[in-house]
Amino acid sequence: MTISLLIAALTVAFPREGAKLPFVERCYLIGSVPPGITNVMVQGRPATVHSLGGWVAMADLTVGSNSVSVTSVGRSFPSTQEVKRVLYVAPKPSVSSSIASAVKKYNKLDFAGDEPKQHPVNSKSVMPVAVIDPGHGGPSDMGAVSPHSLPEKDANLRLSKIVAKELEKRGWRVVLTRTNDVAISLFDRPKVAHRENADVFVSIHHNAPPFDKDPREFRYHCVYAWNDIGKSVAARVNAKMAAALAEKVKNNGVLHANYAVTRNPEIPSCLIEIDFITVPEGELDSWNRQRQELLSVAIADGLDEWRRNP
Ligand SMILES: [Zn+2]
């Protein structure tokens, strides 16, 4: 009994046990301890511990073994508690394979036409249709994970439902690509927008940095789009988000992205990265209901403005 409680006390949320990593020389680790514990050590160096117990550290993976030890000593621990992580790191890619991946080109969605459709959004008398896509889902696609092991897929779904309610209040018809924790392939998501003859497609995500970058240095929001019709929506939404999150989260603006869910020649599409849930402060904000309400109003304001002036 005592032993199982102790094991639950110090957790590593990322990387998961036995995680396979691409070639990296260092990797971030995040996890949690009960509030009040401040002494978390990763490879013998202190981790940054937030007041609510989330912690962040960088592990060096160039020292031979990829086994990383995490220890903690604190009020509720009778002695040093150690958790070991064994990480599998892929071999360094050859120069030729990295060149091959750099020139890889993607085409538009194969089920989409070549021209933007005439949407009812251009006619003020017809109810506009938004497809909101909560990113990830299902048992094998969690998305990013927060220090307290809260998966991005849940944060995306929760916010998407609040955005949907806000848009419905304003006269939009809204279709969610998923309403519970199910897996949907990336290519099936924009198909929902085609099936519903949607005016706009918005994918909602929470961010995580690359494995070898320090999460403490990453905190921004941004909106990705692929073509001009997508960037037009993205710009309106981004401006409203920037005003809502002013001073709290940096604005990285509208960025180009060749994603399956943005590569849509017919239906204006964008992907919103709300915040980074890998840092304790970002995690807290991502699960804060008041901030979700604030963001849903900002996203709906952006879509309304785009509708008035596409
Ligand atoms: Zn995501």
- DSSP structure class, residue 266: S
Boundary (domain end) residue, out of 66, 89, 112: 89
Average pLDDT of span 84-94: 78
Q: What is the CATH number of the domain that holds 79?
A: 2.60.40.10
The residue ranges of DSSP E strands in 143-249, in sequence order, are: 173-176, 200-207, 220-225
Boundary (domain end) residue, out of 68, 89, 110: 89
Ligand 1 centroid distance, CA of 250 (Å): 18
In a domain, 110, yes or no: no
In a domain, 108, yes or no: no
* pLDDT score of 3: 43
Instruction: Give pTM, 2 decimals.
Output: 0.89
Average pLDDT of span 205-231: 94
User: Does residue 283 share a domain with residue 143?
Assistant: yes
Q: Dig out the tokens for 193 from the structure.
A: 């927008």
Ligand 1 centroid distance, CA of 183 (Å): 13
d(CA 31, CA 57): 9
Residues 43-62 pLDDT 10s? 888 999 998 899 999 988 87
Average pLDDT of span 284-298: 95
User: Does residue 208 share a domain with residue 140?
Assistant: yes
How many CB atoms are located within 10 Å of the residue 230 CB? 26
Q: What is the CATH number of the domain that holds 300?
A: 3.40.630.40
Long-range contacts at 282-286 (CB < 8 A, ≥ 24 apart)? 282/146, 282/206, 282/219, 282/249, 283/54, 283/146, 283/147, 283/148, 283/150, 284/52, 285/248, 285/249, 286/146, 286/155, 286/206
Ligand 1 centroid distance, CA of 229 (Å): 22
User: Does residue 142 share a domain with residue 49?
Assistant: no
In a domain, 291, yes or no: yes
Judged against a pLDDT cut of 60, whether residue 14 lies above it is answered with yes
- Closest to 72 in 3D by CA, of 2, 6, 26, 1: 6
* pLDDT score of 37: 82
User: Domain containing 40: what range?
Assistant: 2-89
Split into its structural domains, the chain has a count of: 2
In a domain, 136, yes or no: yes
Q: Among all chains, which residue has been given the structure tokens 């709906």?
A: 300
Ligand 1 centroid distance, CA of 82 (Å): 31
User: Does residue 295 share a domain with residue 153?
Assistant: yes
In a domain, 23, yes or no: yes
Ligand 1 centroid distance, CA of 177 (Å): 14
